[in-house]
Structure 1
Amino acid sequence: MSGIANAALVAVLAGPTVLLIARHTVTIAIRLRPIAVTAISAMAGLMVGVVLALPPEHAILLLPLAVLGCAAAVVDAHEGRLPDVLTWPLLVVTLLAGIVTAKGSGAVGATVLSVLAGGCVAVVMKAAVSTAFGWGDAKLVPTLAVVLVRHDAIVAGIVSMSVLVAVTAFIVGIRAADRSALVPYGPAMVVGTVGAAAL
């Protein structure tokens, strides 16, 4: 079987896997309409397929975000929180993947520093916009920093995430009865990072 066929097969299985992971980490039962299940499965599968089509050193670093990050994003969209049970293991696995795939001590140092810098940025963002930016979002930032630094995609990632958060806010604003509706940042952060890093 060719590499593309393998990637397609794994991508088809990834969507339902992401939903299963999300369903096991929610506190409120997820009741999705069939069209939502299809859309989430297709998006998760597409992200995993794109990641698996990359060179192995890039795929290894991005795959945890494409799977665990997508599951966390589903929970965030449903409950307005990014669960610790997904964000902490995601950070550890991504950091280890970053260190293992690093070529030279400079890349290892950059990987470790990106976690620290991402953590500092997250704390500043949480302090600056505490009502909009939650601790779950803050816990996700160091993971995204590792991915974006290692793929030399910091600017593209920030722009992608910002645009997707704005689109999310617009959609939530249209659907909400009042302006106090919660805007989940997780989906935009995960999709924006994977998209920027995969380009």
Structure 2
Amino acid sequence: MQQATHIYRNGTILTMDSRCSIVSCLAVSGETILAVGSEAEVAPFQGPETHIVDLGGRFMMPGFYDCHSHFMRAGMYNKYYLDVNSHPIGDVRTHSDIRRKVREALSGMPAGEWLLCAGYDDTAVAEERHFTLAELDAMAPDHPLFLRHISGHLALCNSKAFEAAGITDETLNPSGGVFRHDGNGRLTGLVEE
């Protein structure tokens, strides 16, 4: 029987099994869990070199290391933004799906109120392109519309959003950001960073 490098005892340990069992002891060897359960169930894994850690009743659960996440943003999107995520995260597959969601969200909303959308992805819809400014304006003619890209590094804005923010065709790009223009110097609706 493999011996544990560490045994954690006297704790409230959430196992994350299908029943979300809570046990008092855990035996590990390096990064491998050898056993969970009572002290009697874990005791056979103790050897002369095993380090015993008394949790003193404290809580322990499996963890993970995530090098790049935005948990606060996810919560904010869920509360304040219309979900326009593409399949498989959401149910959007085409520009028409986004138009429908925007139309439904604007139904009954007073003119002039902002509609914020999150999860937009031009690469994951059938059209494989951004909306044009004319399409954005037609989608929300009486409301500032903001579609945040899934990358978090760009967005689409309609003319009402630009107007509300005081941005015109002549507005200079902010430091580190870009207001995209067409060949005639007109805003396209795409903003970066």
Q: Given the two structures, how large is their TM-score scaled by the length of structure 2?
A: 0.27
Greater length-normalized contact order (CA 8 Å, ≥ 6 residues apart): 1
Higher strand share: 2
Q: Given the two structures, how large is their TM-score scaled by the length of structure 1?
A: 0.26
